[in-house]
Amino acid sequence: MKLNEDDLYRSSTQFRNWSFTAAQLATQRRRINQQATERVKANVARIRAQRAEDAIARDSVGEGEKENGSGTSGANTPNAVAQSATEVDCLTAAEEMKIVDEFCERAVALGSHYSFPLNVVSTAIQFLRRFYLYNSPMTYHVNTILRTIMFMATKIELFSIHVSQYAQGAGRNVSTESILAPEYIIMQGLRYNLDIRHPFRAIKAGHMEMVEMVHGKYQGPANGMSAKEVQAKMLQLPTNVDAPAVRMPEKRVEERIHAAYATATHTLRTIAVLTDAYFLYTPSQIWLAAHLLADEPLTLFYLSCKLPPSSPHYAKLLGVLRSCASLISSHRLYTNTSLPKDERDKREAQHQTEVKRLVQKLKNCRDPEKVDLVKLNQAQKRDAVEGDALEESKAKRRKLAREGYEKEADAFWGPELGKGAAVGE
Amino acid sequence: MSKQAGRAGGASKRQAEDGDICPVCKSSRYLNSTMEFKINPACYHRMCDTCVERIFKKGNNMCPVAGCAKTLAYKGFRRATFEDLQVEREVDIRKRVMKVMNKKEDDFETLRDYNDYLEQVEEITWNLILNIDKDATERKLDRFEAVQKAEGNAGVSKREPTKSTARVALNKGIVPEALNNDDADTDFSFRGLKKRVAPPKEAPFDPWGGYNIAQQYYVLQDNYDVDWYARMKSDPAHLVGGHSMQEYCSRALREAFGGFGVFIEDEIAARDDPSMDAGVGTEHAAAAAVSGDNVNMDDVF
C-alpha cells in the first residue's frame, strides 16, 4: 500500500482532532461561551443565596457583626460585594476570543522574558488556543493557564527548566504549586495530544529547494522541465505580479529567495502562530501562504513546479493559500507594519484600552468554583484535606490498611532492622 | 557381580554389616567415620574412597575385587545413589536407553504405534539389564542413535542448505547405511512414525508492515547548496554518530509537503465530526467517568 505525504499528515492528531472548518470553530466557541455563561451565573447565584442564608443565621444568633458578605468565602468571589445585587455581566464569545488572542501575544512576551526558544513559545501558544477551544476564560483564567502551559511546553519541546526556577521567574506571587496545579486540567483539555506540527522546519525545506532551483540542480518534480529550464525560468521571474519579466543574474535571484524566506519566516513566527491558521490549514499550506505574502511570483512559480497549473487541484490549492494568506495578513500585527507611525500608535493604544477593559470585565465574571485551582487540585488528591483533618472513618480505615500491608511485608521479608541493630546494640 | 547374592531377603543384615567394611582393604567405618564408599559403573564393585585414591589415582588399573579384573578409570568412580547396587545399575541403563530412544507420543500417528515403540524400548532395556543378547542389543541402540543424528542433521540441512557439515553427514551415507540395516534387522523399524517437517521459512522483517512511503511532491537530493547546510556539515556537533543530515532534510521536506493537498474545509466537513463533541476523550473514558468515581475527569461542560 502506498502512502504519500498527505496520508502521513492525515494520521496526525493535529489533523484528526484539531482541524476544523471556520464554521465549526465559530459554533464551538459560541457553545462553550454559552455553557460557561450559564455555569458562572448559576454558581454565583448559588453562592449568593448561601451567603444570604448565613447572614440571616448570624443575625438570628444576635451577633453584632455587620452584614456585608465579606466572610470567609469572600476571597473566592472577586468583587462579590460590589455587584451583589446585579446580574453577572459575562463575556461574549467574541470578547473571549479577544482575550485569548491578547494572552497569546503575552505568551510571546513571557517567552522572551525567560528567553525560551521559539518552538517552546509557539507550542505554548497553540496549546493555549487549543485549550480555550473547549474551555472558557471565565472558567479558568488565561493568566494562570498560560503560565502552566508555558511550563508544559518547555517539557514537551525538550527545553527543561525546573519548576522552582520557572516559578521564581514568573513573579512574586507565583508558587510552584500554582504552576503545577492546573497541569492535569490542561492535559485533559488538550486531550493528551501534545504533537504540534509547526511550519518552521517546512519553510526551511522549501527555501532549500528554491535555492537548488536557482542553482540549476533541482531534482524534484518540475512539471516536465529539466533542472536547467527551471533555472532559466526562475531567473526571468518578475519582481512583482504585474511587473514585466526581466532576466536577472543568478546572484540577485538567490538574494531574493533568501529575503523572501526571511520575511516569510518572520511572518510565521510572529503572526501565523497567533491566528487560527493551525486549526484551519495544514502546516504545508501555512508556510506557502506566508511565502506567498512575502514573494508572490516566486511562490507561484514554485507551486507550478509541484503541481501542474492545469490540474484542478492547483486552482483549489491556490484558493486555500490565498484565504490563509488573507487570514494572516488581516491580523492586527501584520497590518500595523504597513501603517505610518502615529496611526499605528493610535490604533495600538485603542487596542490596549479595549483589552484592558475586557480583562477587567473578566475579573468580574469568573466562575467562583474554579478560582482557586491549587485548592481544587489538592482536593482531588488521595489524602485530600477537608477543613482541618481527614474524615475520621476514612483516616482510620487507611491506617488499618497500612498496618495490614506492613504486617504482610514483615511476614515475608522480616521486620525492618532497628537502628540499634546496625550498630550492634 | 559378587554382590548379587546380597539381594536375597535373608541377607539384608549381612549387607548392612558389609556396608561398613571395605571389601578391598577391610577397614571399618567404626575406625574411620569419614569413610565413603564408591562404585564404578563398569563393574559396580564397592570400595572405600581411600582404596580408590590409592589404586586408581595414578592411572587406570584393574578392579581389586577377586575374579573381576576389569580395567577401571579413576574418573568413573562415584557415590552410589541407591544402596542396592542392582537398582543402581538398572537406573543407569534406563538412563542411557532413554537418552537414545527419546521419541514422544506426538511423534507417532496413533497411540497404538507409540505403545508398540514403548514395548521395544522396554525390551531393549531388559535385554541390557538381564544381559540377554547383549551385543546385538548394544549394536541396535548405537544404530538407532546414528539414524536419529542423521535425521536431525537432515532437518538442519533443509533449513540451511549452505551448511557444509550437514552435507558432509549426508554424503558420508549415514542415512542409507541405517536404512540398509533397517531392512536387514526388521525389529528395528518403528511403525507409524510421523514425517519430520522442517519449519517454514521466515519471511524477512518489514518494519513498515506492508506500507510504502512514496513521495509525491519532492525528491530527496544528496546535497543541498545552502549556506546553513554547508555550515552544519562541517559542524562537529552534527557529525557525531547517529546524526544524519540527510535525515533532517528528509524530515523537513516531508513536513513541507505533509498536508499539501489536504483541504481541511472539505475533509473535515465531510467527516462525521466526532471531535466537535464536547464529551472529551474516548468512549471508554466517558464510560469510566460515569461508572467509577475514581476517574477524576474534569468535564469540559
Give the pLDDT of residue A68: 46
Q: What is the mean pLDDT of residues B221-237?
A: 87
Q: Which residue has the higher pLDDT, B156 or A415?
A: A415
pLDDT, position A389: 59
Residue A134 has its nearest CB partner, among B249, B267, B300, at: B300
pLDDT class of A195 with cuts at 50, 70, 90: very high
Question: Under an 8 A CB cutoff, do B259 and A6 touch?
Answer: yes
Average the pLDDT over A64-82 and give the result: 44
Q: What's the pLDDT at B163?
A: 39
Contacts of B264 in chain A (CB under 8 A): 15, 19-21, 280-282
Task: Give me the residue from A202, A221, A317 closest to B261, CB to CB.
Answer: A317
* B211: closest chain A residue by CA: A1
Highest mean pLDDT among A284-293, B19-28, B178-187, B240-249 belongs to: A284-293
Given a cut of 60, whether residue B277 has pLDDT beyond it is no
Gap from A127 CA to chain B (nearest CA, Å): 16
Q: Mean pLDDT in chain A?
A: 87
Q: Is residue B71 helix, strand or coil?
A: strand
B215·A205 Cβ contact <8 A: no
CB contacts, 8 Å: B275 with chain A: 16-18, 20
List all residues 6 or more positions away from B215 whose beta carbon is below 8 Å from its beta carbon.
Answer: A4, A5, B253, B254, B257
Find chain B residues with C-beta within 8 A of A134's C-beta.
278, 280, 300
Residue entry with cell 452584614: A67
Residues of chain A with pLDDT > 90, as a percent, come to: 63
Q: Which range has highest mean pLDDT (B146-155, B204-213, B268-277)?
A: B204-213
pLDDT exceeds cutoff 70 at A421: no
Write the pLDDT tens digit of every residue in B48-98.
999 999 999 999 999 998 888 889 999 999 998 998 899 999 999 999 999
Selection from A278, A285, A16 nearest residue A130 by Cα: A278
Tell me the count of A-B CB pairs closer than 8 A: 174
Q: What integer pLDDT is reported at residue B280 of this predicted model? A: 44
Smallest CA-to-CA distance from A384 within B82, B294, B213 is with B294
Nearest chain A residue (CA) to B278: A134
| Cβ contact B301–A36 (<8 Å) | yes
Residue B12: its pLDDT value, please?
45
Q: How confident is the model at residue A62 (pLDDT cuts 50, 70, 90)?
A: low
b (16+ CB within 10 A) / e for A361-374:
ebebbbbbbbbbbe
Question: Is the pLDDT score of A386 beyond 60?
Answer: no
Residue B281 pLDDT: 43
Q: Is A3 on the interface with B (CB under 8 A)?
A: yes
Q: How many CB atoms sit inside 10 A of residue B18's CB?
A: 14
Residue among B259, B265, B280 minimizing CB distance to A134: B280
Q: What is the pLDDT of residues A40-59, one digit of tens each?
A: 999 999 999 999 999 998 88
* pLDDT tens string A332-341: 999 988 889 9
- What type of residue sits at position B301? F
Query: Cα(A281)–Cα(A327) distance, rounded to whole angstroms?
Result: 11
Q: Name the residue of chain B whose CA is nearest to A376's CA.
A: B298
Domain B16-80 has CATH 3.40.50.920: no
Which whole number is the average pLDDT over A302-315?
Answer: 91
List chain A residues with CB under 8 Å of B252.
201-202, 204-205, 208
How near does any CA of chain A get to the CA of B257, in Å?
5
Rounded CA separation A184/A176 (Å): 15
Mean pLDDT of B219-224: 89
- Three-state SS sequence of A15-54: HHHHCCCHHHHHHHHHHHHHHHHHHHHHHHHHHHHHHHHH
pLDDT of residue B298: 52
Q: Is the pLDDT of residue B17 over 60?
A: no
Location of C-alpha cell 549387607: B15
The stretch B4-16 carries a mean pLDDT of 45
Q: Where are the domains of chain A?
A: 22-85, 93-189, 200-335
For chain B, where do the domains classified as CATH 3.30.40.10 start and end?
16-80
Q: Is the CB of A184 less than 8 angstroms away from the CB of B262?
A: no
If you average pLDDT over every residue of chain B, what do you get?
A: 76
Chain A: give the shortest CA distance to residue B253, in Å: 5
Q: From the list B255, B280, B281, which residue is nearest A202 (CB)? A: B255
State residue B172's pLDDT score: 41
Any CB–CB contact under 8 A between A329 and chain B?
A: no
**Residues of B contacting chain A (CB within 8 angstroms):** 210-219, 221, 224-226, 229, 249, 251-265, 267-269, 273, 275-276, 278, 280-281, 296-298, 300-301
User: How far is the CA of B143 from the CAs of A296, B150, B179, in angstroms?
Assistant: 88, 11, 10
User: What is the model's pTM?
Assistant: 0.67
Average pLDDT over residues A361-368: 90
- Residue A244's pLDDT is 83
Q: Residue A288 has what pLDDT?
A: 96
pLDDT in tens, B128-178: 999 988 899 999 899 888 888 887 765 444 444 443 443 444 444 344 444
- Is the pLDDT confidence value at B18 over 60? no
Mutate to test the interface with A, among B247, B255, B268 (most CBs of A within 10 A): B255
Chain B positions touching A291 (Cβ under 8 A) are none
Please state the rounded mean pLDDT for residues A105-126. 95
Q: What are the CA-CA distances from residue A91 to residues A100, A130, A242, A259, B259 (Å)?
A: 12, 19, 46, 43, 36
DSSP letter string over A132-187?
Answer: HHHS-TTTS-HHHHHHHHHHHHHHHTT----HHHHHHHH-TT--HHHHHTTHHHHH
CB of A21 within 8 Å of a chain B CB? The answer is: yes
Residues 286-305 of A with CB under 8 A from B: 287
Any CB–CB contact under 8 A between A378 and chain B? Answer: no
Q: Is A207 on the interface with B (CB under 8 A)?
A: yes
* Residues of chain B with C-beta less than 8 angstroms from the C-beta of A255: none
Are B216 and A15 an interchain contact pair (Cβ–Cβ within 8 Å)? Answer: no
A355 or A70: whose pLDDT is higher? A355
State ipTM: 0.80
Q: How confident is the model at residue A384 (pLDDT cuts 50, 70, 90)?
A: low
Instruction: Give yes or no for residue B5 having a pLDDT over 80.
Output: no
Of A22, A220, A316, which is closest to B218 when you measure between CB atoms? A220
If one compares B238 and B176, the residue with the highest pLDDT of the two is B238
pLDDT at position A359 over 90: yes
Cβ contact, residue pair B298, A184, below 8 Å? yes
Domain with residues A93-189, CATH architecture: Orthogonal Bundle (1.10)
CA distances from B256 to A273, A320, A389 (A): 17, 16, 57
Which ranges of A271-368 would DSSP assign to H, the alpha helix? Answer: 277-280, 283-294, 296-306, 312-329, 332-337, 341-364
pLDDT for residue A279 is more than 70 = yes
Region of poorest pLDDT, from A77-91, A249-263, A342-356, B243-257 = A77-91
In the predicted structure, residue B272 carries a pLDDT above the cut 70: no
From chain A, pick out residues whose CB is under 8 angstroms from the CB of B256: 201-203, 205-206, 209, 284, 287
Of A353-357, B8-12, B49-53, B282-286, where does mean pLDDT reach its minimum?
B8-12
Best to test chain B binding among A284, A303, A381 (most B CBs inside 10 Å): A284
What local confidence, expressed as pLDDT, does residue A275 receive?
94
Q: What is the structure's pLDDT at A71?
A: 43
Q: Which of B225, B262, B300 sits opposite A282 (nearest CB)?
A: B262
